[in-house]
Amino acid sequence: MPVSIRPLHPVFVGEVAGIDCRSPLNPAEVTAIESGMDQYAVLVFRDQDLADEEQIAFTRHFGELEGYSTPGHIRRRAEQRLGPGIADFSNLDKDGRIMSAEDRVWFFKLGDRLWHSDSSFRPVPAKYSLLSGRVIPSWGANTEFADMRAAYDALDERAKAEIEDLVCEHSLIYSRAAIGFTDLTPGEIAAFRPVHQPLVRTHPVTGRRSLFLAAHAGAILGWTIPEARMFLRDLTEHATRPEFVYSHTWQPYDLVMWDNRQTMHRARRFDRNEVRDVRRTTLGGNAPLIEQRM
């Protein structure tokens, strides 16, 4: 069965048919999915009952897994439920129990409910993320996506000119402070040192421009903090207007793949007494977008 993609939203997001993510892909299939990603920025694959190793193998068709020396989370390896190469976005502790509402890891996860782009707080931000839904709560827990190309296109010419060369500082410190979680250790504060990212980026294949926004952005170089925060808040409000947003209602074994270079996303509420087991693999970007003058 050839690969086909059906649009799920007027401006982005497609649903893929004709792919079994557990089997190795041939070059034509890889090309079809990559060009689908370039066009749709988010692709949904239904009924993909993947083991972790199969998810990792599928992900590697599209590049190198993200690897880094600094932590993107506060859980140490020994405290983790899953093996290397796959990130645990569940509400479970390493023994498979629902984590305490007072767990620092839980506080940290709550920050993912703010609009963001994965790893924008790293010098080399992520390319694709792939989230596999294994156990889905009975209520809520959607993942929402916003098209940052459409958001950029909808800006007026004055706004486009104003943001053209702006550089933002991104850090987990900013996104966690935004929900009042400031209880970071000195080691975490050092590891989460802000990085520089351009506010406007250009897709390497399509040449389309997009807003590179995230809750991790907390400063604009050369601007006062209040002015920068207010401007970033306004831009985020613009970029997440309903016409640019797709809300994904999860079914078990959905695999959703998104391009962090062209979209933002956020998690939505669910009953924390129910299990939500979702697992993410992530592809790294190629290089820093701009020189890190720190």
Contact residues for Fe ion, defined by CB under 5 A: 118
Helix runs in 178-224, H state only: 186-191
Residue number of the CB closest to Fe ion reads 118
Taking only Cα atoms into account, the Rg of the chain, rounded to an integer number of angstroms, comes to 18
* 284 contacts 64 by C-beta, under 8 angstroms: yes
Measured from the CB of residue 280, what is the shortest distance to Fe ion in angstroms?
A: 8
* 193 contacts 201 by C-beta, under 8 angstroms: no
Measured from the CB of residue 278, what is the shortest distance to Fe ion in angstroms?
A: 11
Q: Pick the closer one to Fe ion by CB: 88 or 118.
A: 118
Q: Pick the closer one to Fe ion by CB: 32 or 131.
A: 131
Measured from the CB of residue 146, what is the shortest distance to Fe ion in angstroms?
A: 12
Q: Pick the closer one to Fe ion by CB: 61 or 113.
A: 113
Between CA 184 and CA 192 the distance in angstroms is 10
Q: Pick the closer one to Fe ion by CB: 118 or 254.
A: 118
Computed from CA positions of residues 84, 53, 138, 273, in that sequence, does the dihedral angle turn out positive or negative?
negative
Between CA 290 and CA 170 the distance in angstroms is 13
Measured from the CB of residue 112, what is the shortest distance to Fe ion in angstroms?
A: 5
Structure tokens at 21: 């993510």
Q: Pick the closer one to Fe ion by CB: 118 or 169.
A: 118
Measured from the CB of residue 131, what is the shortest distance to Fe ion in angstroms?
A: 8
Integer CA distances (angstroms), 133 to 20, 55, 68, in order: 16, 11, 25
* 107 contacts 270 by C-beta, under 8 angstroms: no
Q: Pick the closer one to Fe ion by CB: 155 or 175.
A: 175
Between CA 19 and CA 62 the distance in angstroms is 15
**274 contact partners, CB below 8 Å, separation of at least 6:** 137, 138, 139
Measured from the CB of residue 129, what is the shortest distance to Fe ion in angstroms?
A: 6
